[in-house]
Amino acid sequence: MNICVIGTGYVGLVAGTCFADSGNDVICVDIDAKKIEKLNKGEIPIYEPGLQELVSRNAKEGRLKFTTDISCAARESLICFIAVGTPPGEDGSADLKYVLDVAKSIGMHMNGYRIIVDKSTVPVGTADKVKAAIREEVKKRSKDYEFDVVSNPEFLKEGAAIEDFMKPDRVVIGTDSVRAAEIMKELYSPFMRKTDRLIVMDVRSAEMTKYAANAMLATKISFINEIANLCELVGADIDNVRRGIGTDSRIGFEFLFPGAGYGGSCFPKDVQAIVRIAGEHGYDMKVLKSVEEVNCRQKGLIVDKILEHFKRERSRVQGFKGSSPSPTTRPLEGKVIGVWGLSFKPKTDDMREAPSITIINRLLDAGAKIKAHDPEAMDEAKKIFDSRIEYIQDNYEVVKDADALVVITEWNEFRRPNFEKMKKIMKTPVIFDGRNIYDPHEMRSMGFTYYGVGRV
Query: What strand order describes the sheet that includes 336-340?
Result: 390-391, 369-373, 336-340, 404-407, 430-433, 449-451
From 20, 264, 296, select the one nearest 156 (Cα to Cα): 264
Neighbouring-strand partners of residue 451:
432
**Amino acid identity for residue 31 in this structure:** I
120 Cβ neighbours under 8 A, 6+ residues apart: 7, 11, 82, 83, 84, 85, 86, 99
User: What angle is formed at CA 319 by the lines to CA 313 and CA 324, rounded to 5 degrees?
Assistant: 100
Q: What is the distance between the alpha carbons of residues 259 and 452, in angstroms, rounded to a whole number?
A: 8
Helix (H) or strand (E) holding 194: none
Q: What is the number of alpha carbons within 13 Å of residue 69 lying toward its C-beta?
A: 9
30 close to 7: Cβ distance less than 8 angstroms: yes
Helices (H), 42-176: 51-60, 70-76, 97-109, 126-140, 161-166
- The SS3 assignment for 65 reads strand
Residue 266 appears among annotated catalytic residues: yes
Helix (H) or strand (E) holding 159: none
Catalytic residue among 4, 18, 80, 266: 266
Catalytic residues: 266
